[in-house]
A and B are shown apart, each in its own frame.
Chain A
Amino acid sequence: MKTKKHENHTYIIESEDMERKNEMLLQYIKEKVNQLLQIMGTKPLRDEELNDESLIAIDPIGIIAESFEQVLDHLKESNRQLQLARDYLQAVFDTAGVGISIIDRDLKIIKCNEKQKELLVNGVSQIEGRHCYEVYCGIDSPPLICPAIETLEMERAVFLKEVTKKGKVFQIVTSPLRDRSGSISGVIEVSMDITEKKRALEAMCQSEKLAAVGQLAAGIAHELNNPLGNILGYAKLLLMEQDTTEFQKNRLEVIIEQAKRGSSIIKGLLEFSHQKMPVFERISLNACIELALRSLSDEIRSNNIEILTGLGTVPYVMADPKQMEQVIYNILLNAIQALEGKGGIVEIKSEALNGSVEVTIKDNGPGIPKEHLSRIFEPFFTTKPVGKGTGLGLSICAEILKKHSSNICVESEVGKGTKFSFRIMGGVTGNV
């Protein structure tokens, strides 16, 4: 009995213990279910909502576990797709032929692509976090006209047709960068380098202008040549008359001189307009230089100009000798005219240079101001008084050299002098 009672007692104690343990476990499960439900975004269960039986029957932990599995799968897939999208975007960003920058509201660069660096960032290592005007425009404070600022202020895209930065010409589009709430957090700036395009366009305009001028000039020159010839002819006849007075002779000479001037201008126009194709021959540029100098000997003497010649041992070239002589003549004449009255030195050189011949004509005249430099090859651009220059000399030179697959270079400093040079490929062996 004693023992039995004792055993009974123990059993009761054990059973109470079990129940307490179960109660604890149930409580624990409920708590964890509620915790999971909270994570899933819903309210915890109230005691009466799920009793102990339905807790097991409904199997909330099982349901939530399985749902979590789907959440994780979905996250993994989303991540994979995000990564993919990011890789694509990065590739587009990096390989785009345009410069792209993301700039924040304080005009600080958040990110820019390789092209942008190539275009406008020379040698700056740390770009992110610095002001765009500092890195891209090379200035200490925001410029007056800035598409990024306009986009931030007006909250719309801005297109800048043409802007020069660091010697390059750009087209720029800025668009607002909006965050999730729709407010503007920065600017996306896209810069396209149009330097080359613009140059090509200008060259095209130039040659169109030349062609138009050519046609016009050819027509007029032809019509004017005959009447001018007649004036010249009759004036010469009158000069030969026995009974003309000294006074009349002087006036006739003026007429003849002016008529000659007129026809020389026409000759220039015709030369310019005829756009003669060069007749290529094996020639010596040194010989062309000698001929041009000889034709200009009067001008050289009367203007008190010292000519320094440095004709090197140069290869023969394939070129049109008449046209080469004309190029040299026109450049020389300009140099002489630049020194007119004051006298000075003109240096003319020929040099062999990797198989081609370079001709350089240098004067110590007044030089050409920067704003004129880009225009001197335009037809009819002249700074000389009316009747003195037609502004065709250098455009003829440029045209001729173009037909010889060459071009004309100029370097000039105001007050110091001017240097013109051009190069002709040496097409044949043997030195002059």
Chain B
Amino acid sequence: MADKSGINLDVINLDIRGQICPACLLISLKEINKHKGLLRDGEANLIVKTDHRDATRTIPDAAIAMGYAVFVEKKKGYYEITVGRKDEDQKA
């Protein structure tokens, strides 16, 4: 899983298409934890690609609870979930 992700300038890609549900969340959380410094500072966004509909609820819910901004976009055959810094944190 980790080998499918990589730092691309300020985008960290995580492709978990084909993964089953609860694992999706765990893997995404792990990735968020790993890059929390970059994500918190707004230096990078994490983009999670998933084809699991449930994950478009569980991942955003968890990430929002952790204080991130989340944006979900429906692509062809999968979803793209972007996790990044919340705007209002920029001034703080």
Interface residue ranges, A against B (CB under 8 Å): 37, 40-45, 49-50, 58-60, 63-64, 66-67, 70-71, 73-74, 77-78, 81
Contacts and interface: CB of A to CB of B under 8 A. Distances in A.
A63 B29 contact: yes
Interface string B28-54: 011011001000000000000000001
B66 interface: yes
Contacts of B33: 63, 66-67, 70
B30 A63 contact: yes
Contact of A41 (B23, B27, B58): B58
Nearest to A81: B92
Contacts of A44: 22
Contacts of A64: 26, 29
Contacts of A66: 29, 33
Contact of B21 (A42, A73, A74): A42
Nearest to B31: A63
Contacts of B21: 42-43, 49
Contact of B66 (A45, A58, A74): A74
A58 B23 CA distance: 9
Contacts of B32: 67, 70
B5 to A, nearest CB: 15
Interface residues of B, number: 21
A77 B67 contact: yes
A37 B54 CA distance: 13
A177 B32 CA distance: 39
Given A41-B57, A70-B33, A50 B67 contact: no
A49 B27 CA distance: 13
Nearest to A50: B23
Contacts of A45: 22-23
A43 B55 CA distance: 10
A41 to B, nearest CB: 5
Interface of B: 20-23, 25-27, 29-30, 32-33, 36, 54, 57-58, 61-62, 65-67, 92
A314 to B, nearest CB: 70
B23 A67 contact: no
Given A49-B23, A70-B32, 15 more contacts: A40-B61, A40-B62, A41-B61, A41-B62, A42-B22, A42-B25, A58-B26, A59-B30, A63-B26, A64-B29, A66-B33, A67-B29, A67-B62, A70-B33, A74-B65
Nearest to B64: A74
Contacts of A74: 65-67
A71 B22 CA distance: 19
B66 A67 contact: yes
A50 B26 CA distance: 11
Contacts of B22: 37, 42-45, 49-50
Contacts of A50: 22-23
Most B CB contacts (10 A, CB to CB) among A50, A66, A70, A71 go to: A70
Contact of B25 (A37, A70, A78): A37
A50 B25 CA distance: 13
A50 B22 CA distance: 9
